[in-house]
């Protein structure tokens, strides 16, 4: 009898213990995904304009995994239909600027449950051959998403390519345009560093930055050098303003995105009429990389590739001073047009 009671007690303790461990594991798992486990809102809130309904968020973590599989091309047509997945044209595009932090911005925005990124740069609007393939070709390049989500793509060459504003306007005249900028001289050196690395990889030699940035005949800034021209932000923006009002642009501070990404991302959420969902939990500083990295949940996090955050070569200070002086009036104009002022020298 006593033996039977003891066995029963042991059994009960075992069940209670299992329940306690199960609950604990569940809680631990949830901590990592609290941001993403928001209640699901009604299905048909689209990319709302200001004042209208916010974009509803999908709720369940597992759906993100499912979507990931679909994006990798592991979905059958039936699964796509069943889950109501679509390939949508972007509602917002990161149009530039090259080396401004375009990849970091895209990846960080992708932390938002209502955002789906196009992983590759599509180069639809700046490449004549691609553009000739038509808008359906472009749409088919987009990732699968739920109808209430928004797709974002980034192709930094759009910002400086002559034909692009008109082409994007023809696709969607109310599209939202994101431009991420850095202090122009730093951006130009970053641009140079990328090209230099490409040459070195092919065992080629290359000029020093100073030689490219300064015209040896006049000793003035060489405005024919592409890395310099790209940093004259106002010149490019003025071309875009022939098609889109300034309200359709949002300027992201690329230098601040490096040191303090969250407030910059919150401004973008606001601009895109997205409910604030990216939190400090999603961003952690990785001392080894020297940059913020991304945390999606308790198990999944990632840093950007090593090609982001290169060490810049030392540049002669007189050349830096000359460049900064050269960019100064263009910067002033850029602040005036955009309404966003930076502490650039």
Query: Which of 179, 184, 182 has the alpha carbon at shortest distance from 239?
Result: 179
SS3 content of the chain, % helix, strand, coil (to 5): 45, 10, 40
The Cα-based distances of 245 to 51, 166, 330 in angstroms read 19, 13, 20
Which of these segments, 62-70, 126-134, 144-152, 302-310, binds ligand A3P (CB under 6 A)?
A: 302-310
**DSSP assignment letter at 214:** B
Contact between 143 and 71 (Cβ < 8 Å)? yes
* 3 state DSSP class of 293: strand
Residue 127, both tokens:
């490449």
User: Of 99, 154, 176, 322, which one is the catalytic site residue?
Assistant: 99
Helices (H), 148-299: 164-171, 184-201, 209-213, 226-230, 233-240, 254-259, 261-271
d(CA 44, CA 66) in angstroms, rounded, equals 20
What's the CA angle centered on 125, arms 123 and 129, to 5 degrees?
Answer: 75
99 part of the active site: yes
Question: Quick check: 101 binds ligand A3P (CB under 6 A)?
Answer: yes
Question: Quick check: 234 binds ligand A3P (CB under 6 A)?
Answer: no
- How many residues bind to ligand A3P according to rule CB under 6 A? 17
Question: Quick check: 304 binds ligand A3P (CB under 6 A)?
Answer: yes
Which of these segments, 11-19, 57-65, 97-105, 326-334, binds ligand A3P (CB under 6 A)?
A: 97-105
Contact between 160 and 230 (Cβ < 8 Å)? yes
Tracing tokens 């569940």 back to the chain, one arrives at 26
* Min CB(258)–ligand A3P separation in Å: 4
d(CA 60, CA 66) in angstroms, rounded, equals 10
Which of 257, 268, 315, 323 binds ligand A3P (CB under 6 A)? It is: 257
Output the residue with the shortest Cβ distance to ligand A3P. 190
Interface map 119-158 toward ligand A3P (x if CB under 6 A): -------------------------------------x--
Question: Quick check: 100 binds ligand A3P (CB under 6 A)?
Answer: yes
Query: Which of 136, 122, 144 has the alpha carbon at shortest distance from 76?
Result: 144
Which of these segments, 102-110, 223-231, 242-250, 331-339, binds ligand A3P (CB under 6 A)?
A: 102-110
Question: Quick check: 113 binds ligand A3P (CB under 6 A)?
Answer: no
Q: Which of residues 281-300 bind ligand A3P (CB under 6 A)?
A: 291-292
198 in a labelled binding site: no
Q: 85 vs 97, which CB is nearer to ligand A3P?
A: 97
99 in a labelled binding site: yes
Contact between 181 and 98 (Cβ < 8 Å)? no
Q: 241 vs 262, which CB is nearer to ligand A3P?
A: 262
**Residue numbers belonging to the annotated binding site:** 99-103, 182, 190, 292, 308-312
- Footprint on this chain of ligand A3P (rule: CB under 6 A): 98-104, 156, 190, 257-258, 291-292, 304, 308-310
**Residue numbers belonging to the annotated binding site for 3'-phosphoadenylyl sulfate:** 99-103, 182, 190, 292, 308-312
> Mind telling me the catalytic residues?
99
């Amino acid at each position: 009898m006593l033996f039977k009671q003891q066995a029963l007690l042991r059994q009960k303790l075992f069940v209670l213990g299992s329940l306690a461990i199960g609950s604990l594991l569940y809680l631990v798992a949830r901590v990592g995904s609290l941001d993403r486990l928001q209640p699901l809102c009604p299905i048909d809130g689209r990319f709302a304009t200001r004042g209208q309904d916010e974009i509803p968020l999908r709720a369940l973590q597992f759906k993100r995994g499912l979507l990931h599989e679909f994006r990798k091309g592991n979905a059958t047509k039936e699964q796509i239909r069943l889950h109501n997945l679509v390939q949508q044209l972007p509602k917002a595009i990161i149009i530039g600027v090259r080396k401004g932090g375009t990849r970091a911005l895209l990846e960080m925005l992708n932390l938002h449950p209502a955002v789906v990124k196009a992983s590759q740069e599509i180069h639809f609007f700046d490449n004549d051959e691609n553009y000739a393939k038509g808008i359906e070709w472009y749409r088919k390049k987009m990732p699968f998403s739920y109808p209430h989500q928004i797709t974002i793509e980034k192709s930094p060459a759009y910002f400086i390519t002559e034909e692009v504003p008109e082409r994007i306007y023809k696709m969607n005249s109310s599209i939202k345009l994101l431009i991420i900028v850095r202090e122009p001289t730093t951006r130009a050196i970053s641009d140079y560093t990328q090209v230099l690395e490409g040459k070195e990889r092919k065992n080629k030699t290359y000029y020093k930055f100073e030689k490219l940035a300064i015209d040896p005949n006049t000793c003035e800034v060489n405005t024919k050098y592409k890395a310099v021209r790209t940093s004259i932000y106002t010149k490019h923006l003025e071309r875009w303003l022939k098609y889109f009002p300034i309200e359709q642009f949002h300027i992201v501070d690329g230098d601040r995105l490096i040191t303090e990404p969250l407030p910059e991302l919150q401004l973008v959420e606001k601009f895109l009429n997205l409910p604030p969902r990216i939190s400090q939990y999603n961003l952690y500083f990785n001392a080894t990389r020297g940059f913020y990295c991304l945390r999606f949940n308790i198990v999944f996090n990632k840093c950007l590739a090593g090609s982001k955050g290169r060490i810049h070569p030392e540049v002669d200070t007189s050349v830096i001073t000359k460049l900064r002086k050269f960019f100064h009036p263009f910067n002033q104009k850029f602040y005036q047009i955009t309404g966003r002022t930076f502490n650039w020298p």
